[in-house]
Structure 1
Amino acid sequence: MALDPFLPLSTGGLAQIDQRSREIFRQIVESYLATGEPVGSRNIARLIPMTLSPASVRNVMADLEAAGLIYAPHTSAGRLPTERGLRFFVDALMEVGDVNERDRANIESQVLAAARTTTVEGVLQEASGLLSGLARGAGVVTATKTDPRLKHVEFVPLEPGRALVILVSEDGQVENRALALPPGLPVSALTEATNFLNARIRGRTLSDARQEMDSLLSELNRDLDALTARVVEAGLASWSGDEPGGRTLIVRGQAKLLEDLRALEDLERIRLLFDDLETKREVSELLGRAEEAQALRIFIGSENRLFSLSGSSTIVAPYRDGQGRVVGVLGVIGPTRLNYGRIVPMVDFTARLVSRVLGAPGADAA
């Protein structure tokens, strides 16, 4: 599995921490990942596979705190790992296994079933939802916008003054936009606008249609009345900003983040994360960094500006198309106490499986 570390292991001499300190630190982190609660020296003394008194454990904890790896959330409380400590754990101490057989079978069966019955976007939606459920976080996927050939265009009335313009591509992708209608437009004008566009752009890409906009506009003015022509022009213009090569973002399962709240501060953190996820452009740009690295990436807390307030972690891996090019990333966003050891191989496996579905050469999810 390709994993791109965010920080060098030698930062601040952390890689030189002795084995006893590492074992105590590991217990603090694993307790936090399991419970979200601070752990004290007495509990650690019982858990570690060596004989140490609580006083000796406290001395080691003091050294770990001085190194910036752990902290006390309250006076006389146990200790929790800092973001720096979590990064050290992930890069130097975490044991990454393989996806267990149950999760592997679940992911493979559902993603492959989606590949047989739906579009590429449907496969990505399925993968995102699966990761959300298995990791108990929000599943995220970015995809590069394509420019498929169009199969059908339709204007559908919603309410007085508003309509929906729907584009269906030959590969089954469906997109829609809400559209403001000119005052006094009869419903029959929507049918006329639909017929006009289907006769001219079926089998062409949206880019082709845009390039021929001038000739289409001259036909509009010749063949349609003024109100219907305005509807057609507005329908085409509603896609004018969707250039191929940009990113789309799919986020699934935000509600999973609410299932394991332990305190009011957890609720506030999740609220902040929900606010972050609403800024889809910035989330997409953040995840684009993993595309550029072409390897699995783990962002912890303030390592990324976007999620610094909510204290969230992101685990994402790139997937590839039939030419072997990285075309997007998929993964999980959740609290910093994600089960990294379980989720990292799960995300990596899903990314390789999606690459296999897309026909990437050498992609093997087995």
Structure 2
Amino acid sequence: MTKIDAYEFRRVLGAFPTGVVIVTGMDDAGQPLAMTVGSFVSVSLEPALVGFLPTKTSSSWAALQNRTGTKFGINVLASDQEDLCRAVASRKTNKLEGFEWELSKNGSPILTDSVAFIDCEMHSVSDAGDHDWVMGKVLDLFTLSSNLPLLFFRGGYGSFAPGSMAVNTDISVKLLGQLDLIRPHMERLATELVAEVSVMTRVETELINVGSAGSSTRQGRSSRVGIHVPFMPPIGGVFAAFGGPEAEAQWLAQVHPDADHALQTHFEACLAKVRERGYAAGIGHERGSGIELSARVAYSGRDPEARQRLLAVVNDAAETFNASDVTAEGDYEFHSATAPVFDKDGACLFSMTVWGSDGLTSGADVVATVERLKLAADAASQELQFRSH
């Protein structure tokens, strides 16, 4: 039998990037336990099982085994959590000291700002050479953010820079196929403008960001893919303006209950502007970013009051959407511009958005960006008209 050189084994397998998670639990004294793992994997859907492979000699794994409890959590680390990853990997005790966490409903630590959390109960432990093969039964799971995950590759940590991403949560296979048809137009626009371009679709009373291309030019901004926002004034104006009378009525019916008649009239006038221009626009970074941040919290599913706060934030941002004309002579806090994408039946199936950068943008650049966006959205509409079935 050929003996495999250990160095060569690590070198070759190091060419395969892996995600990084931290397995957490509580010891019998009520203190948190944690272990960095690069071998986490989804195992089974029915029953729902996940697994990881700790080294048999690991003291962190021994601590998780030698306790009364059988519950543990899997924390999928974000790309900016390398310090947490290294701390847990190098410390012998007090691994989570200095880092924020809270207990899940099943009693395992959830690390703040992680990408996702999977709550588990021990299912089985079996032999795997110099490692153990641990499988956990999934009790609960949810996403915490849309940040890119931390990766381990060739002995170092980092993340990936996606050309484009898509999410199919809450959308049909047919819709995902139509998204694939317009993806090249989204990617081309992102490359030409050196900006993030995203695509949203409407699912009843929500808008879901289902695709993204390019990279954000704003500091601290992570991917918008998977973000949900409510279909209510002033956001979602493209779907209201080009979705027919029923969509417009539903949109206007979602006006904040404290709004007066003047605000209702304002939103109706904004829709008329969107139809006239062929696009919707958001001016003002603070209000626009506030909506996105509130949406991330509201749709993580862990705070029942967060959606009510989101509605209030959306209502407060009314004056920053579609209220004024952009001229080539001015300077603007250009947050976003959105154009409709129509299917073969003429329905507004998607919206395509270009996101602005920090600071001020000249009016001439905003106008040029909007015109290029409209061309890309028109090309995407033609793609759906001639190629979708």
TM-score of the superposition, structure 1-length normalised? Answer: 0.30
* Structure 1 or 2: more strand by fraction: 2
Q: Which structure is richer in relative contact order (CA contacts within 8 A, separation 6 or more)?
A: 1
**Higher radius of gyration, 1 or 2:** 1
* Structure 1 or 2: more helix by fraction: 1
